[in-house]
Chains A and B, each alone.
Chain A
Amino acid sequence: MRSQAPETAQEAAALLQDCAADAVGVRIAGAGTKPWGSPGGECGVELRTAALDAVVEHNRGDFTAIVQPGVSLRELEERFADSGQMLALDPPLGEGDAATLGGAVAAGDSGPLRHRYGAARDLVLGITVALSDGSLAHAGGKVIKNVAGYDLAKLYSGSFGTLGLICEIAVRLHPVAPARATALGTTDDPGVLQRAAVALATSSLEAQALDVRWEAQRGAILARFAGIAAAAQAEAAERLLAQLGVQVSVTQDDDALWAHQRAAQRSVDGGAIVRVSGRPTGLADACIAAQIAGATLVGRAALGLWWVGLPATAPGELVTSIARLRKVLAPSPCVVLDAPSYVRAHLDPWDHVEDPAVVLMRRVKQRFDPTRTCNPGIFVGGI
């Protein structure tokens, strides 16, 4: 596979157009930290976003920025922090902390901040994309509120590069809070953990992040508060948790706790990560299922979004474990993210059901990339 790193959006669009004309598939990649999805069809060209690495605008007073896809999330974090601002998108950064903004948006990845600020798609105000017909389409804008035209950013967020290359992303930024504090509760009873998670999620306390964890027969709930009154809110959460029989403490030095949550969304040792979309009320069952599989679970308490980390075993055993997990947690979708290639080839990572939404996505693919040039076959249902 020939590797190319176009330096401008126009170059990228021309490359896609040429490949479409020659019926050559293009594998689009950022830093390559998320080799997810189905194995997909053959590709002759790898298009990397490494040279599309500029922060085009940072409008401090407007809390917006326009960024090329190849900029790393780590760089953005440092850059915006200088102005007391942040991009509220905190997925794990992958090997070498190299994950890029384009990759995170295309893969729809997220971290604990999703609780308060939404998913990547909720932070993207506008987008410029290169299509396989060689055109560069710009949708949305760089203002917080805008309802002109279709919101293509929503379409490209989570589309895994199958509709074209994201060349530029306008994002909304948020202020970094002056203070923060985390209430950390622990229990070895999955039922208590679920009750605690639901109680915090439905209370009027406004957490910046609300996470759960189940590991080695022990559960944890983490509620981070950010703002002038962070400590007071964390103490209120502490009282609420204590009433439910959870052992609880409050800390302001919470970076390591949250780094641990993010890290557990990835596998580094040849195991597998399964992302489960459930309901908050299914947490206890999910913890038990994870425990039986010898796995850990981390995720967003109020959103019912969990990452189950299965330890490395013989590939055949991993396939069986994942199938069992899916059966127990059905109908919650269980998408396999990290996994050895053997596993990826022997099951459908997407756990896909041929529902009307998939049929519709196929029609969208047909319109946007009729030549099936961009990341062919890696997405749900063979898209």
Chain B
Amino acid sequence: MDPVSMTASLGPGLLGPEVETSLRARGFTLGHFPQSFEHSTLGGWIATRAGGHFATNYTHIDDFVESLRVVTPTGVVETRRLPGSGAGPSPDRLFLGSEGTLGITTEVTVRLMRTPEAVRTLLAGFRSTDDAGAAVSSIIAAGILPAAIEMMDALTIQAAEQAVGAGFPTDADAALIVELDGSLAECNACFDDVVAICERNGATSIRIAEDDVERALIWRTRKAAFAAMGRLAPNYFVQDGVIPRTKLPEVLARIGALADEYGMRVANVFHAGDGNLHPLVLYDGEAQAERAEELSGKIVEACVDAGGSITGEHGVGVDKKRYMPSMFDEAALAAFQHLRCAFDPRGLANPGKVMPTPRLCGEVPGPYRQHPLERDGIAERF
């Protein structure tokens, strides 16, 4: 760790809490808190180009990665550990979000931030997701960049409140959690504006976290949302789509119409500041699974139609590669393949992920070949 240049070199296998604990002791933070913070690793954040809760301001993993050491199938690449990179594109940027298809990260140098001087959090209830969405737009239009703006709809509020009992407004049709951080003066001034904006946009209740305990309680409720769905239905699919923020009312209406058409319930939780939706399609048992998955797929299509993306933070992997052609035409997919082949001409790294159809790089034509790890029974394809 270099506290003067504010950088630290870390192993990719560190879990979120391990990263933060080691930095906080010296007054620093990485400032990256994805939903899966407790269970996910630094290397995983890089491979998936993670965003997450506090993703409105900086806090995408991109903002923190200074340089990487990556073992690619064609050799070790180490980008220079300098805060501002020198000439040309930095290959390390390409590893962000590459889902293990370009190589394996073995060391990460991150840029650190000071623990913010102040953090202020509020919870506001609204009569409709439209009102809440209008409040979000007004906050952004006012030039305020919150650390987080999260929206929950009625179903989600009810389920999460049943699970945690934090006093969320169960009579509201939408709730917003807005958090600001930064210097004390700036944070307080903007926070007053946020309160006024919520009131102007018809907030039915506003609760301001008085201390860290109350703040943690609000976040615990938000984080409980996914797990709490078990109170509403035995099964659910999590979807991850992105839309331009201004299309929120239109897309939510379309999701509602789709849910009606399928006779299923869809709960919505989202990172409202950046238009990243997590519709949860609720269903009951294997018999409904196929239909639920189909509905979930329709929701992704709605996101793409609105000018958005098939994934904001969960990645493409295997599950979503079939949607890739809805966003990218043949020329784009070919360009992706150029890149992939430059790093991994033999297709050794995470074969079968990201790209919608299996392709070869031209250098090693031929059918499926067993990977040495598969042969030795160390790994399997799934």
CB-CB under 8 A for A142 and B244, given A147-B316, A206-B183, A360-B77: yes
B115 part of interface (Cβ distance < 8 Å) = yes
**Chain B residues near A178 (CB, 8 Å)?**
143
Q: Are A335 and B86 in contact (CB under 8 A)?
A: yes
Q: Are A108 and B4 in contact (CB under 8 A)?
A: no
Interchain CB contact (< 8 A) of A145 among B60, B80, B327, B339: B60
**Chain A residues near B336 (CB, 8 Å)?**
139, 149-150, 152
Complex CA–CA separation, A211 to B5 (angstroms): 15
**Chain B residues near A333 (CB, 8 Å)?**
80, 82, 86-87
Within A259-318, which residues are at the interface with B (CB < 8 Å)? 275, 277-281, 300, 302-305
Using an 8 Å CB-CB cutoff, how does the interface string of B58-99 with A read, 1 for contact, 0 for none? 001011000000001011111110111111111101101110
Interchain CB contact (< 8 A) of A147 among B93, B114, B312: B312
Within A140-160, which residues are at the interface with B (CB < 8 Å)? 141-152, 154-160
Q: Are B328 and A139 in contact (CB under 8 A)?
A: yes
**Chain B residues near A201 (CB, 8 Å)?**
6
Q: Are B274 and A159 in contact (CB under 8 A)?
A: no
Using an 8 Å CB-CB cutoff, how does the interface string of A154-184 with B read, 1 for contact, 0 for none? 1111111000000000000011111000000
Q: Are B98 and A302 in contact (CB under 8 A)?
A: no
A244 part of interface (Cβ distance < 8 Å) = no
**Chain B residues near A214 (CB, 8 Å)?**
none
B158 part of interface (Cβ distance < 8 Å) = no
Using an 8 Å CB-CB cutoff, how does the interface string of A198-231 with B read, 1 for contact, 0 for none? 1001111110000000000000000000011100
Interface segment, one of B184-192, B206-214, B216-224, B281-289: B184-192
B44 part of interface (Cβ distance < 8 Å) = no
- Say how far B306's CB is from chain A's closest CB, in angstroms: 9
**Chain B residues near A40 (CB, 8 Å)?**
none
B175 part of interface (Cβ distance < 8 Å) = no
B342 part of interface (Cβ distance < 8 Å) = yes
How many of chain A's residues have a CB under 8 angstroms from any CB in B? 85
Complex CA–CA separation, A359 to B75 (angstroms): 10
Q: Are A155 and B94 in contact (CB under 8 A)?
A: yes
A71 part of interface (Cβ distance < 8 Å) = no
A361 part of interface (Cβ distance < 8 Å) = yes
**Chain A residues near B76 (CB, 8 Å)?**
356
Closest to B88 in A: A158
- Say how far B92's CB is from chain A's closest CB, in angstroms: 8
- Say how far B284's CB is from chain A's closest CB, in angstroms: 31
Interchain CB contact (< 8 A) of B274 among A141, A143, A203, A281: A143
B141 part of interface (Cβ distance < 8 Å) = yes
Interface segment, one of B12-20, B48-56, B258-266: B48-56
Interface segment, one of A59-67, A72-80, A249-257: A59-67
Q: Are A147 and B97 in contact (CB under 8 A)?
A: yes
- Say how far B272's CB is from chain A's closest CB, in angstroms: 11
B140 part of interface (Cβ distance < 8 Å) = yes
Q: Are A278 and B82 in contact (CB under 8 A)?
A: yes
Interchain CB contact (< 8 A) of B3 among A202, A227, A229, A335: A202
Q: Are A154 and B89 in contact (CB under 8 A)?
A: yes
Complex CA–CA separation, A363 to B55 (angstroms): 34
A332 part of interface (Cβ distance < 8 Å) = yes
Q: Are B313 and A147 in contact (CB under 8 A)?
A: yes
Closest to B240 in A: A147
How many of chain B's residues have a CB under 8 angstroms from any CB in A? 89
Q: Are A148 and B311 in contact (CB under 8 A)?
A: yes
Q: Are A62 and B182 in contact (CB under 8 A)?
A: no
B332 part of interface (Cβ distance < 8 Å) = yes
- Say how far B22's CB is from chain A's closest CB, in angstroms: 17
Interchain CB contact (< 8 A) of B185 among A122, A138, A155, A232: A232
- Say how far A12's CB is from chain B's closest CB, in angstroms: 14
CB-CB under 8 A for A204 and B114, given A143-B308, A356-B77: yes
- Say how far B252's CB is from chain A's closest CB, in angstroms: 16
**Chain A residues near B85 (CB, 8 Å)?**
277
Using an 8 Å CB-CB cutoff, how does the interface string of B113-138 with A read, 1 for contact, 0 for none? 01111000000000000000000010
- Say how far A183's CB is from chain B's closest CB, in angstroms: 14
Complex CA–CA separation, A305 to B311 (angstroms): 34
Closest to B3 in A: A202
Complex CA–CA separation, A205 to B117 (angstroms): 8
Complex CA–CA separation, A279 to B311 (angstroms): 36
Closest to B185 in A: A229
**Chain A residues near B80 (CB, 8 Å)?**
277, 333
B329 part of interface (Cβ distance < 8 Å) = yes
Interchain CB contact (< 8 A) of A357 among B74, B77, B114, B193: B77
**Chain A residues near B246 (CB, 8 Å)?**
59, 61-62
- Say how far A24's CB is from chain B's closest CB, in angstroms: 22
Interchain CB contact (< 8 A) of B335 among A159, A174, A366, A368: A368
In this complex, the member of B182, B186, B334 whose beta carbon has the largest number of chain A beta carbons within 10 angstroms is B186
A81 part of interface (Cβ distance < 8 Å) = no
B32 part of interface (Cβ distance < 8 Å) = no
**Chain A residues near B341 (CB, 8 Å)?**
367
Using an 8 Å CB-CB cutoff, how does the interface string of A353-383 with B read, 1 for contact, 0 for none? 0011101110110111000000000011000
Q: Are A143 and B88 in contact (CB under 8 A)?
A: no
Other A-B pairs, 14, CB within 8 Å; known A121-B93, A356-B77? A61-B244, A135-B334, A143-B275, A147-B309, A148-B309, A148-B316, A150-B336, A155-B89, A155-B94, A202-B6, A229-B189, A280-B83, A360-B72, A364-B342
A residues neighboring B (CB under 8 Å): 59, 61-64, 84, 108, 114, 118, 121-122, 129, 131, 135-139, 141-152, 154-160, 174-178, 198, 201-206, 227-229, 232-233, 236, 275, 277-281, 300, 302-305, 332-333, 335, 350-352, 355-357, 359-361, 363-364, 366-368, 379-380
27 contacts between A and B (CB under 8 A): A59-B246, A118-B63, A129-B335, A137-B332, A139-B328, A139-B332, A141-B309, A143-B242, A145-B60, A145-B309, A146-B242, A147-B48, A148-B327, A151-B94, A228-B193, A232-B186, A233-B186, A275-B86, A279-B5, A281-B5, A304-B5, A333-B80, A356-B76, A357-B90, A359-B75, A363-B342, A367-B341
The 7 A-B residue pairs with the shortest CB-CB distance, nearest first, are A175-B143, A305-B84, A333-B86, A229-B185, A137-B335, A154-B93, A61-B246
B residues neighboring A (CB under 8 Å): 3-6, 48-49, 51, 55, 60, 62-63, 72, 74-80, 82-91, 93-94, 96-98, 114-117, 137, 140-145, 182-183, 185-186, 188-190, 193, 242-246, 271, 274-276, 307-316, 320, 324, 327-329, 331-332, 334-336, 338-343, 354
